[in-house]
Amino acid sequence: MSPILYFYIALLAVMGLAAFAFYGMDKRKAKKGAWRISEKTLLLLAACFGGIGAFLGMKVFRHKTQHTRFRIIVPVCALVQIAVLVLMIIYV
């Protein structure tokens, strides 16, 4: 495998874990009534290679699942990132 593919997989893993953690922290803060993580930040994490983690965070923590923006943008980000990974595996 190419070093670029390893880098992309590592990037997806790190950003995915970060996004998952942020969604969990925001859900916990929402329950406590504490200062929250902005929606812009959560969506930016999904767009910046954290789509898979953000999607899993939405499902596991049942967080932001009623927001139309999140229901559309996060899965699209995850699918695009998976598609790029598949294409890289095939062609790189």
Given a contact cutoff of 8 angstroms between Cβ atoms, the answer to whether 29 and 56 are in contact is no
Confidence of residue 47 (pLDDT cuts 50, 70, 90): very high
Q: Residue 7: give the domain boundaries.
A: 3-91
C-alpha torsion 51→52→57→58, nearest 10 = 70
Give the mean model confidence (pLDDT) for residues 69-88: 98
What's the confidence (pLDDT) of residue 30?
96
Q: How many domains does the chain divide into?
A: 1
CA distance 6 to 26: 30
CA distance 72 to 36: 21
- For the chain, what is the mean pLDDT? 97
Q: Per residue in 23-40, pLDDT tens?
A: 999 999 999 999 999 999
What's the confidence (pLDDT) of residue 12?
98
Give the mean model confidence (pLDDT) for residues 48-54: 98
- CA 44 to each of CA 1, 79, 86, 87: distance values in angstroms, whole numbers, following the listed order: 29, 15, 22, 23
For the whole prediction, is pTM greater than 0.85? yes
Length of the chain: 92
